[in-house]
Amino acid sequence: MSHEILANWNGVEMPLSEVTVSALDRGFLFGDGVYEVLRVYKGQPFLEAEHLERFRRSLDKISIVCQVDRLIERMQMTLENSGVTEGMIYMQVTRGAAPRTHRFPSGDVPPNELIYVEPMEVDHYAEAREQGAAVITVPDLRWKRCDIKSINLLANCMAAQQAAEQGCIEALLVNADGTVTEGSHTSVFGVRDGHVLTSPLSPSILPGITRGLVTRLAGRCGIPLHETSFSAEEIPQLDELFLTGTTAEVVPLIRVDGNLVNDGHPGPITRRLQRAYQEFVAESLSI
Ligand code: PLP
């Protein structure tokens, strides 16, 4: 049974299906906005401070002025009123509705602020987490500011669609120089000779919140981790490969472009980090 999803649209709580947006909204016309997604475990937003800090940074980077503290209050109220215990929170702020010109509108145009809380009735990643998943590699066609969590996701959507058409869970994005940057909606890690590798923070990737946590967890587990990219050509030399993301958590990869990763089974370091992730979730909920 699908439940009505509860939204907060510019401060007013209503069912998500009843939210209507002006055709002049700059998010609608230009993709002029940013967003954030948080996971809710047992009714509590996970890594809330980290997500909200990234949201503030995204807003700052594109000069949208918005009262984030007010948004946080709304987020907490919407979560509470939704009664959702397992789910996700979506937050989006666009530069608002104004006559269509490329440059930012002058004057006082209020941003359009959307929050909704969606229950997660089915965990779509559960099987992939257990069994491991298949991915493809595709060229990274995105812009040069992937560090901003922009609602412009066309290149990401095209890559994800290509992966889906090939029965894969995700597309790994490969830069013109051959570097694997990240996934269409996940961060990517490789393991070689016991060392974990992941792209360094730069404008070429989103600073994934789960990426940050897994980096810290590797430290706790005594697993050496290097913020060093690997290339698509180097994938056959990797012992393990995995993805991270807010809803994906930690997903082992067992096939890339039809070729097995190592022996085609999730590797021990990925398994160790999956356990550490679960332990961290449990710990943070008991505080
Ligand atoms: N990289 C991209 C391009 C993403 O869109 C996402 C999440 O949506 C991620 C990485 C993972 O980020 P997080 O761990 O914050 O969910």
pLDDT tens-place string over residues 247-260: 999 999 999 999 99
Measure 35 CA to ligand 1 centroid, in angstroms: 11
Q: 182 CB under 6 A from ligand 1?
A: yes
Rg (CA), the chain: 19
Dist CA 274 CA 217 (whole Å): 10
- How would you label 220-249 residue by residue, b for 16+ Cβ within 10 Å and e otherwise? eeebebeeebbebeebeebbbbbbbbbbbb
Residues whose CB is less than 8 angstroms from the CB of residue 155 and which lie 6 or more positions away in sequence, other chains included: 140, 141, 142, 143
Measure 110 CA to ligand 1 centroid, in angstroms: 27
Dist CA 127 CA 249 (whole Å): 12
CA 21 to chain centre: 24
Q: What pTM was estimated for this model as a whole? A: 0.97
Task: List, for residues 188-218, the tens digit of each pLDDT value.
Answer: 999 999 999 999 999 999 999 999 999 999 9
One-letter amino acid identity for 268?
Answer: P
Of all protein residues, whose CA lies closest to atom 1 belonging to ligand 1?
186
**In the predicted model, is pLDDT for residue 2 greater than 60?**
no
pLDDT at position 107 is 85
Residues whose CB is less than 8 angstroms from the CB of residue 10 and which lie 6 or more positions away in sequence, other chains included: 110, 112, 113, 114
**In the predicted model, is pLDDT for residue 158 greater than 90?**
yes
Mean pLDDT of 232-248: 98
Mean pLDDT of 262-273: 98
**In the predicted model, is pLDDT for residue 178 greater than 70?**
yes
Q: 252 CB under 6 A from ligand 1?
A: no
Q: 186 CB under 6 A from ligand 1?
A: yes
One-letter amino acid identity for 286?
Answer: S
Alpha helices in 83-124 (DSSP H): none
Q: 211 CB under 6 A from ligand 1?
A: yes
Measure 135 CA to ligand 1 centroid, in angstroms: 16
Q: 149 CB under 6 A from ligand 1?
A: no
Atom of ligand 1 lying closest to residue 153 CA:
5
Half-sphere exposure of 26 (CA within 13 A, CB side): 24
Active site residue 61: no
Task: List, for residues 35-76, the tens digit of each pLDDT value.
Answer: 999 999 999 999 999 999 999 999 999 999 999 999 999 999
- Helix (H, G, I), strand (E, B), or coil: what is residue 93? strand
| Helix-then-strand count for the chain, H and E | 7, 15
Atom of ligand 1 lying closest to residue 51 CA:
15
One-letter amino acid identity for 213?
Answer: L
- Domains annotated for the chain, with CATH where assigned, are 6-119 (3.30.470.10), 126-285 (3.20.10.10)
**Mean pLDDT of the residues in the chain:** 97
Task: List, for residues 113-136, the tens digit of each pLDDT value.
Answer: 999 999 999 999 999 999 999 999
- Residue whose C-alpha is closest to residue 23's, from 105, 101, 99: 99
Would you say how long the chain is, in residues?
287
Asked whether 231 and 210 are in contact (CB, 8 A), the reply is no
Longest dimension (CA), the chain: 60
**pLDDT band of 1, cuts 50, 70, 90:** very low
Q: 243 CB under 6 A from ligand 1?
A: no
**pLDDT band of 33, cuts 50, 70, 90:** very high
Measure 271 CA to ligand 1 centroid, in angstroms: 21
pLDDT at position 287 is 67
